[in-house]
Amino acid sequence: MNARSSGRRAQSLRAPDAGRLASWLASSDVVCGDGAVMSWSGPRGGGYAYPEVAGLWLAAVCGARLFEAPAALVDRVADRLVADVTELGGVGRRGRTYLFDTAVAANGLGWYSRSSGGRHSDAVARLVTVAAGWVVEQTAVLPEPDGDPSHWSNGSGPHQLKAAVGLHNHGALADAGAVERALDALGATQLAALRRDGPTVGVGATLGYAHAAAYAIEGATFLARVAGRASDDCVSAGAARLAALQGEEGGIHAWFDGSRVFGSCHADATAQAVRLWATAGADRWAREIERALGWLADAQAPSGAVRYASDCEDENTWASLFTLQALRWLADGVDWVRVL
């Protein structure tokens, strides 16, 4: 069955409502008047302004074109993201600048710059250059955290393969040599670690976090499908790895180790799994996709957003973005150049 016929079948499955998702993502629940993009909304309050998610939002609107938003609103999001760039030349939160966040911001702002005649191209160049340098130096975050260094976002691990998206897509705006060195470094270190140990993060590289594992597999898939710097075996292997984390209810469990999965099911990893299963073959993984879409449908709030987890009512922005792209890919075909 080809992508189009698979898309028609996907539309008949129980799944989140894409139109309601799109409306929520363009609403004031997500984007504030000053252009800040919020992490979530819900019973615990409005979350926090999150530059990384602003990068995802811009990539969704300007690159993947998953939904429409007024031009003035898109400009405000881009302007706020540029204003959030730290003295170190990247973005982050809570006083720290992260390689991962910086690469995601570079990708989103890069798509915005392309769609706006080059606006903020200098900021894109700076973000790409900083991210490329940090990849080579294996710098994950500055200043280094005082707390537990094993938290996945604080370390240099396979999840940072996803940095390849922003570097490759918009590297022409920056130092070509720096970007080339960074992509080579990802292949030499993180891609090798992913193949050797699998997408595990945490103490002793035995504990896996599904969301970070999905990022690692996505980065490897991008390197294979778009950048031509990896073999395609990562796609099928990654699809199988995520299928092993799927719970009976259809969602992807948050945590895994060598013998078990545990924790609540999370919407971000579940939507990421659907994207990867669509890539590996919607027919081959049809049952897993069907169950995941059903779980995500149950996670969709009356507002149209997707709730973060089976035990969390927060209406999560990045999980909603990933879910909308998964639905679009099933309906219209996979496009890894514009992966969020």
pLDDT on residue 3: 45
pLDDT average, residue stretch 94-120: 97
pLDDT on residue 131: 98
**pLDDT for 10-20, tens place per residue?**
456 799 999 99
Q: Which residues pair with 265 in a beta bridge?
A: 253
pLDDT average, residue stretch 25-40: 97
Average pLDDT value over all residues in the chain:
92
Residue that has been written with the tokens 């490329």 in this structure: 132
**pLDDT for 269-296, tens place per residue?**
999 999 999 999 999 999 999 999 999 9
pLDDT average, residue stretch 102-118: 98
- For the stretch 14-28, what's the b/e string if a residue is b when 16 or more beta carbons lie within 10 angstroms of its beta carbon? ebbebebbbebbbee
pLDDT average, residue stretch 123-130: 98
pLDDT higher than 90, residue 46: no
| Distance separating alpha carbons of residues 114 and 121, to the nearest angstrom | 8
What is the C-alpha end-to-end distance of the chain, expressed in Å? Answer: 26
253: its two tokens: 């469990």
**pLDDT for 227-267, tens place per residue?**
999 988 889 999 999 999 999 999 999 999 877 899 999 99
Q: Which residues pair with 312 in a beta bridge?
A: 309
pLDDT average, residue stretch 317-326: 98
pLDDT on residue 200: 63
**pLDDT for 151-164, tens place per residue?**
777 878 899 999 99
Secondary structure class of 246 (helix, strand, coil): strand
Out of 39-43, 199-203, 308-312, the most confident range is: 308-312
| Distance separating alpha carbons of residues 74 and 26, to the nearest angstrom | 10
pLDDT band at 182 (very low <50, low <70, confident <90, very high): very high
pLDDT higher than 60, residue 1: no
pLDDT on residue 15: 98
pLDDT band at 108 (very low <50, low <70, confident <90, very high): very high
Nearest to 326 by CA among 283, 254, 269: 269
User: Which residues, 6+ apart, have CB-to-CB distance to 192 below 8 Å?
Assistant: none
pLDDT on residue 203: 40
Cut 0.75: pTM above it: yes
pLDDT on residue 8: 45
**pLDDT for 54-67, tens place per residue?**
999 999 999 999 99
pLDDT higher than 50, residue 50: yes
Interior angle at CA 167, CA 208 and CA 30, nearest 5: 70
pLDDT on residue 144: 85
pLDDT on residue 277: 98
Pairing state between β 141-142 and 96-98: antiparallel
pLDDT on residue 12: 60
Nearest to 107 by CA among 282, 226, 234, 258: 226
